[in-house]
A and B are shown apart, each in its own frame.
Chain A
Amino acid sequence: MSSRTRILGYGLLLICGAIVPFVIYPILAMKVLCFALFACAFNLLIGYTGLLSFGHAIFFGTAAYVSAYSIKVWGFSPELGILTSVAAAAVLGLGFGLLAIRCAGIYFAMITLALAQMMYFVFLQVPFTGGEDGLQGVPRRSLFGFIDLSDDMHLYYLVFAIFVFGFWLIHRVIQSPFGQILKAIRENESRVISLGYQAARYKLLAFVLSAALAGLAGGTKAVVFQFATLSDVHWQTSGEVVLMTLLGGLGTVFGPLIGAAIVVTLQNALADKVGALLPVIMGVIFIVCVLVFRRGIAGEFTAFCQSKLAERRADANHRKSHGLSCKGHGASGEGVSAKEANP
């Protein structure tokens, strides 16, 4: 795929994102974007670094609480509240990361789960969170002092801008040399260490980055919904983000967005259609996805496209090797197939 096609593609997506609130209910769209950013941040950790964290909701929820508290009680403006929440999530990510990075695989997952559960119970007991009732009634106020956020449309564009920023940041990280090292760590950590890189530092930085972006998603969500509750830090939310990422496709760029869109839309749209069957339906979808779409929806789609490309290339080579003696198309045929091989 040429860079021009790619720019065109992203431009199209941006335009689609800009017209979404006129077609789809804005609150639902904002919820999808917040969870999509959360899933993208989670994907950075598991899809590109190979670290499965079972307690990622803690960064999401901590940021939601900090954002809600700073806006409601300290009187911060929304942008300051969200920035504060990102900082809080990053600090928490640093603390947890330092402890968890020492282990790998299942042990890493268990430690992150344990730390997340510990923080959950702290949030349950501490008075500022409001415990079971949650931190309610967070005012929406004005962005930068003049853009009124109580209008859902204005808020949507803010959330969209935040999502685009987060998505772009992750994209840059993945494409950078730093991202290459992360992928190498995912493939074979000992080889990376033997090459002279301090793998632990890279993992820690990826963890903190992922935590901060999850915090960005959480802080924004608190502004949209105007509350922060225990369900934001509950282990079930950690499980939901795993579901979204797996559904969409681990290690793909758009996978988490697709996964989040599906899960959030189903949860909200089906809430009043299927009643008690909703968890069953979500479970069945998850099972089908894991069994049939092993690489997630985006992953399967990419694999499908690549197999089609490989077929075309094989055909072209086949034609070339058989037609070399006939026409003079060999050179141009090679040129075409070379371009197609580098998307």
Chain B
Amino acid sequence: MEIGGYWGKILRVDLSKRETSVEELSHSFIEKWVGGAGFGAYYLYKEVPAGVEWSDPENRLIWTSGPLAGSGVSGAGTFNVAAKGPMTNLAGCSQANGYFGAYLKFSGFDGIIFQGKAPHLVYLWIKAGKAEIRDARHLAGKDIWEVEDTLREELGAKERDVSIYGIGPAGENCVRYAAIVGDRGHLAAHNGLGAVMGSKNVKAVVAYGGKRNFTIKDPERLKEKNNAMFQHAKTFGPFYQWGTGGGFSALYGIGCLPVKNYTTDIFPEHEQMNGQYMRTHFQIRSMPCYQCRVAHVKEVTVTEGPYKGFVGEEPEYECLAAWGPQIGNTDLGAVVMLTKEADRLGMDCNEASWTIGWVMECYEKGIFSQKDLDGLDMSWGNVEAVKTMLNKIARREGIGDLLAEGVMRASQKIGGEAANRAIYSLKGCSPRSHDHRGGRWIELFDTCVTNTSTLESTWGGIHPQLVDLPLLADPFSHEEVSTINARFNGVRVFDDCLGTCRIAATDPKLQLECLNAVTGWELTLGDIFTIGCRVVNQLRMFNFRHGMKKEDEWPSKRYGSIPVDGPAKGKNIMEKWDWMLENYYTLLGWDPKTGEPLPETLKKLGLEELIKDL
């Protein structure tokens, strides 16, 4: 019997041979891996053996949709990208919203696997079950906005006829934190998957929109549950009214805004930089993702300050923090400008601002001179110097070549005092733009132990009550933090299999109801955990095979340091780090000493075939 929500087809693109082919997916495969990050984890493990490095042609770049993408569920334009990534040299899974996840399905495919390397820049064109690898040499050096404009004009396509994702100069130059960017400002930003795309000489992918052309098993049930999910999302947190920036000041209140590279947690200007201020002072235009009713994505026009008149996408929380307090900037208009600049160049704002903030602190302390920085005055808050530096990084010019390696590698190369000031996890994962030493220890822990290269268990906190688990009572309890990370693990990764945006699908139970309505399945809450943990364990096995060690699951010295002021002053997560790891490993069925999955855990998750690889 047909499963609703799928085509059962993966497009394989062999760039070296300049060939495309279509592979059928079996029902049992779909039921086991669901889509998105699940498909990505399966193919990564199967096709990328140990010894293949992130930039090798034999690395895979896997773009996958999910069963809810394009189904009519609110905000279901999401897709997942998986590859061995350059930040960690381990697995990377990153998602972007917008339209592409839906348009990929409308084009007749559940996913695309890129392999090999094209001899020159190319782009992939897909429409109605057809695929073509096309010359993109004329797009070399263009930023992704220019790429979108050029390709739409060449194809005679209007704005929403096609969804286009690609790389900017950062991806072409293999900046380790290059992102895949598209649909006017959406990013799959984590673990440098844009650099993998650049290493394969793929500049962009174009997918065509259209009407939904795959089966929905129970449209009436879907309509009812989708409405209920929207009502939940509308009142769950600040997103509907204020966007992700609506929580900016709340994060300040618990010591979670990153201020000047963690040298302080005092930022009284937060009230002039939050979503509430932006939406009541700047001009706002709605730019919703595919069929999204929450519609938190906006375009803004700056109405005051030095950047008055500047038009850009409304910065999400991470960009507000990255280009505001982290670099000592207090002008919201400048945040809009830098957000657009980083997106245009195609790089992750998190890692870019950890790198820039580290440079600024080292400059303040006299570790770097202006001469060391190609003549740039990298004083806190000098946003024009930051803009210039971002461009140097994207093109690997001068000091930008070192900084393009990310803050972990750059700080290790400089060494000495500079090395102690950099914020990263030893595995190489960039923390999101928070000060996790504040009231979000759970996210600091998650960033260090993740197998996806970005958040795995948490998403800006945990709301365990949504899946009937006990609450996190004390955000500074070593025991609770490690325990709840383990107990909740699987839910968020399952999310990443579906093709929906978390901001539009805030209630996991209703999301599950929507999934069952689309597919015809009757999955339970327990199945969510099983499938999500299956994907996590598959990625973890991949990571061990590619050289990960337990010792890598630590924060850098600065990332794990004790706040010197602010609401979390004196709190020390590192006091019991080893105990937290052992507790977490034990609860997930992993060896408490090494962190490797135990054979019985793999068997329980249906991963028996991996036991031989332990």
Q: Are A and B a genuine interacting pair, yes or no?
A: no
Which residues of chain B have a CB within 8 Å of any CB of chain A? Answer: none
Which residues of chain A have a CB within 8 Å of any CB of chain B? Answer: none
